[in-house]
Amino acid sequence: DADVGWGVRASEYFDKHSIKNVTVDGVEIDWEGEVDRGWVKEINCLEWESFAFHPSPLIVLVFERYNRAADNWRFLQELEKATKVYWDTKDRLPPRTVKIDLNIERDLAYALQAKECPQLLFLRGNKILYREKG
């Protein structure tokens, strides 16, 4: 356990002050569980090249888990619904969809000129064609 100051261990602090997940429309946001079952893959800067330098369209959600969590979660849910609609049409593949956390992938977000969240970037061949902000 790390010392969080004033002689208090981290485990003692979080026993008294637990982190509560935000609830949106009666559903608790589960960022960690969403990683395993979501339609939009979370990537890091090391994976960026394998996704960006490809001729097919790429949609990037730049989000923050804990700042304006409800807005970011709703944005993600809408993107997942749209991706699923494409998959269900069966006559064409959906655009590739990924997400990056602004607070974790700071260098990548900076390179994409993404300073606020949520934000959707529409890319083709590593070129941003369109940007949609929150």
Residue 32 is predicted with a pLDDT of 64
How does residue 126 score in pLDDT terms, banded at 50, 70 and 90? confident
Residues 30-84 pLDDT 10s: 666 655 567 888 888 889 888 888 878 899 999 998 788 888 888 888 898 888 8
- Report the CATH fold assignment for 23-133: Glutaredoxin (3.40.30)
What DSSP letter does each residue of 80-126 carry, written as one string?
HHHHHHHHHH-SSPPPEEEEEETTTSHHHHHHTT--SSSEEEEEETT
Residue 35 is predicted with a pLDDT of 55
How far apart (Å, rounded) are the C-alpha atoms in residues 46 and 59?
A: 17
Residue 4 is predicted with a pLDDT of 46
Predicted TM-score of the model (pTM): 0.74
- Which residue do the tokens 């090249």 mark? 49
How far apart (Å, rounded) are the C-alpha atoms in residues 14 and 11?
A: 5
- Which residue do the tokens 């006559």 mark? 91
How far apart (Å, rounded) are the C-alpha atoms in residues 99 and 131?
A: 14
The amino acid at residue 112 is L
How far from 71 is each of 8, 22, 88, CA to CA, in Å?
34, 11, 26
How does residue 100 score in pLDDT terms, banded at 50, 70 and 90? very high
How does strand 41-42 pair with strand 96-101?
A: parallel
How does residue 1 score in pLDDT terms, banded at 50, 70 and 90? very low
Residue 108 is predicted with a pLDDT of 92
What is the torsional sign of CA 108, 112, 114, 118? Answer: negative
